[in-house]
């Protein structure tokens, strides 16, 4: 399944693939270009995939990727080009505020304080939490599926960051984070927090 609002990008190499395939019927040199666009089309379908997940208990990871930081009530997740880029709600909650900031597009595995971002404030049963979607060096657009005032259930889709990015989750101080730096995780499946006292 292709992620919402991404089908037009996923299909963008297709016209070139068809053109070069037809041209290759007249001259084999065009077959090389047809193969290149076929591979690009396959990658786009892979990148913009929206995988259905069985949602686990506790506070779940909002993103696929690798844990870059898991301390001081902050979980930071780096999403490579090969991770699913649809982000999920980590717990039930109401969207209180959404703030979009234009910014730079530095690599998402480095200092990203000045990068383009969308900060989402959420009121939940465990208290107020914040989820930040950050665009990386290849990402050029953060596309939210939610709006202020929405009540969103755990595991529901909240948006996508196109091409390589980072997600940060800020939790109340009384939450016990169980993921560790360097761990590979899955959105909705990996439990990031066991409990909040």
d(CA 107, CA 97): 26
Catalytic status, residue 165: yes
> Which sequence spans correspond to the domains of the chain?
7-47, 59-196
Is 66 in contact with 180 (CB distance < 8 Å)? Answer: no
Question: Is the model's pLDDT at 196 over the cut of 90?
Answer: no
Determine the pLDDT at residue 146: 94
Determine the pLDDT at residue 15: 83
Determine the pLDDT at residue 45: 76
Output DSSP code: residue 61: P
Which CATH number applies to 59-196: 3.40.190.10, 3.40.50.10140, 2.40.50.140, 2.70.70.10? Answer: 2.70.70.10
Determine the pLDDT at residue 97: 96
Catalytic residue among 61, 76, 124, 165: 165
Determine the pLDDT at residue 157: 93
Digit-coded pLDDT (tens) for 113-140: 778 889 999 999 888 999 999 887 665 6
Give me the count of residues in the chain.
197
Question: Is the model's pLDDT at 2 over the cut of 80?
Answer: no
Cα 121 to chain centroid, rounded: 17
119 or 85, which is more confident?
119
Closest CA to 182 of 58, 76, 55: 76
Mean of all residue pLDDT scores within the chain: 84
């Amino acid at each position: 399944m292709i992620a919402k609002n991404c089908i037009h990008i996923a299909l963008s190499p297709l016209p070139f693939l068809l053109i070069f395939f037809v041209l290759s019927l007249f001259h084999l040199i065009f077959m090389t270009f047809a193969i290149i666009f076929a591979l690009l089309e396959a990658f786009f379908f892979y990148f913009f995939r929206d995988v259905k997940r069985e949602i686990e208990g506790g506070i779940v990871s909002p993103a696929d990727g690798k844990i870059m930081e898991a301390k001081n009530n902050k979980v930071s997740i780096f999403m490579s080009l090969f991770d699913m880029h649809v982000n999920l709600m980590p717990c039930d909650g109401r969207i209180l505020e959404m703030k979009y900031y234009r910014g730079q597009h530095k690599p998402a595995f480095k200092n990203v304080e000045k990068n383009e971002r969308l900060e989402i404030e959420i009121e939940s049963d465990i208290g107020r939490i914040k989820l930040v979607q950050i665009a990386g060096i290849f990402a050029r657009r953060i596309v939210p599926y939610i709006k202020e005032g929405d009540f969103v259930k755990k595991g529901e889709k909240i948006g996508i960051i196109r091409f390589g990015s980072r997600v940060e989750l800020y939790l109340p101080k009384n939450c016990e984070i169980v993921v560790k730096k360097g761990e590979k995780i899955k959105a909705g499946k990996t439990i990031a927090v066991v409990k909040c006292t």
